[in-house]
A and B are shown apart, each in its own frame.
Chain A
Amino acid sequence: MKMLELKPHEIVNLARLGFIEEIITSGILWTCATCLKCKERCPQAVAPVDLIFALRNLAVEKEAKVPESFLHSLSAILETGFIQKPQNTVTRKLEKVNREKLGLPRFRESDEKFKAAFFKVLEKSQEE
């Protein structure tokens, strides 16, 4: 069993004190499950999760400690438009199945024009 020590109000106050470098190199940002309860329930309407996401973006920009899995999705999207291609799976009786076998329509990947356009967006956002 493992519980994480994330306390949204701590991150907010560390940021207010200017410890940005410390937060983005500590890895704590990546322990948020994005349940959004901090945003919903904060009596001061602070929305710590919004700050966590902004700091994650900053961590990526500064090439600080970022779990690789977050970067993988981006390269998959550039390749097919989605985070993954349709996977084979098994039934409870361990019979192998896929979309076709299940009678589902063909999966439509994004076209080449999308990939080029999305690449441009990424380039542009890095310039800013």
Chain B
Amino acid sequence: MKVAVYWGCVIPTIQYGYEMSVRAVMPRLGIELIDLDNVSCCGTPVQSVNMLAALYLAARNLATAEKTGLSDLLLPCNGCYLSLSEAKHFLSHDEKLKEEINSLLKEENLRYEGSIKIWHTINLLHDLIKEEKIREAVKNPLNCLKLAVHYGCHILRPSTLQTVDDPENPRKMDELIEWMGAKSMSYPEKLDCCGYMLLLSHPDAAFTFAGLKLKAVQDWGADALVVSCPSCQMMFDMRQKSAGATIGAKLGIPVLYCTQLLGIAMGIETEKLGLHLNRSALDEFLRKASLISTAASP
């Protein structure tokens, strides 16, 4: 099945481990990813400055995806998922706004119809590929692992939109992890935010958000934190040291993408999944799952 993919800004410019692992696992699960030409930022970073410009950017990317004629679009980034699902919602409820946006899109011979269905990595795996196919693809069940999942705010809320899962009691990522053979633990901080949106303007506050959640996950005894959003990964993995320093705690919790974990369970080489790019303490985690043998030698 062919699915268009829109990577946004953060994934293809710095969060390469997510892109690599999505590109590695999807074809093996029967999904052929079709990259889009001439897309742009999803609009999220512009929402605070100019709502109309943000909506235009979101609609422009949807219109570009619709031009391929494909019926499904994958948005691996939570921020992009929110921005594009919000645009779909606004434009389907306001005919006048839709015509205004379309008159702006005409400049580039684009037209937004609202026909393409959007997916995030988590519901694409859970609801489209489904349990049987995923269980079949798991060659290396992760039986010995106890994991904490972090969904990220922007695929869960607000429930007035088409969200990926239940906003207060999400289960899809937990179930994906169970299908891989691992245990997903329940913990009180599960829905807490990573703080990323404050990183540039209020870094201490952002690192406090991230640090407190990481410390909780570490203290509950998880083997790793599993995420599905590039911004959350930036906070929990890339900036874990700063987060620990900010809250005055020593943190050493491995953090990886859901698709990286799935790739491990499917027996894909760790370097193909970009696992050498994660900054958090992943080596011990990979050893624990007796997976280090599949990693490329130094």
Contact = CB atoms under 8 A, between A and B. Distances in A.
A13 B14 CA distance: 40
Given A60-B49, A93-B298, A104-B19, A81 B40 contact: yes
10 contacts: A1-B204, A30-B48, A35-B193, A39-B158, A54-B51, A66-B49, A67-B200, A82-B41, A105-B35, A117-B105
Contact of B13 (A3, A69, A85): A85
A56 B49 contact: yes
Interface stretch (B66-74, B113-121, B131-139, B275-283): B275-283
A86 B12 CA distance: 7
Contact of B48 (A37, A56, A102, A125): A56
Nearest to A98: B16
Contact of A118 (B40, B248, B278): B40
A34 B191 CA distance: 13
B167 interface: yes
Interface stretch (B52-60, B141-149, B177-185, B260-268): B52-60
A53 B48 contact: yes
Contact of B50 (A3, A60, A91, A116): A60
Contact of A70 (B48, B167, B193): B48
B246 interface: yes
A53 B51 contact: yes
A107 B13 contact: yes
Contacts of A69: 200-201
Given A1-B204, A77-B40, A120-B104, 9 more contacts: A33-B196, A91-B276, A91-B277, A92-B276, A92-B279, A99-B16, A103-B20, A105-B35, A118-B57
Given A4-B202, A84-B13, A89-B277, A114 B53 contact: no
Contact of A74 (B49, B104, B209): B49
Contacts of B167: 40
B108 A114 contact: yes
Contacts of B204: 1-2
A123 to B, nearest CB: 10
A73 B35 contact: no
B45 A77 contact: yes
B52 A125 contact: yes
B205 A92 contact: no
B38 A40 contact: no
Contacts of B282: 92
A1 B160 CA distance: 34
B9 interface: yes
B9 A84 contact: yes
A70 B197 contact: no
Nearest to B101: A121
B38 A114 contact: yes
Interface in A100-128: 102-105, 107-108, 110-111, 113-114, 116-118, 120-122, 124-125, 128
Contact of B274 (A1, A3, A33, A102): A102
Interface in B144-186: 153-154, 157-160, 167-168
Contacts of B35: 105, 108
Contacts of A26: none
Nearest to A72: B200
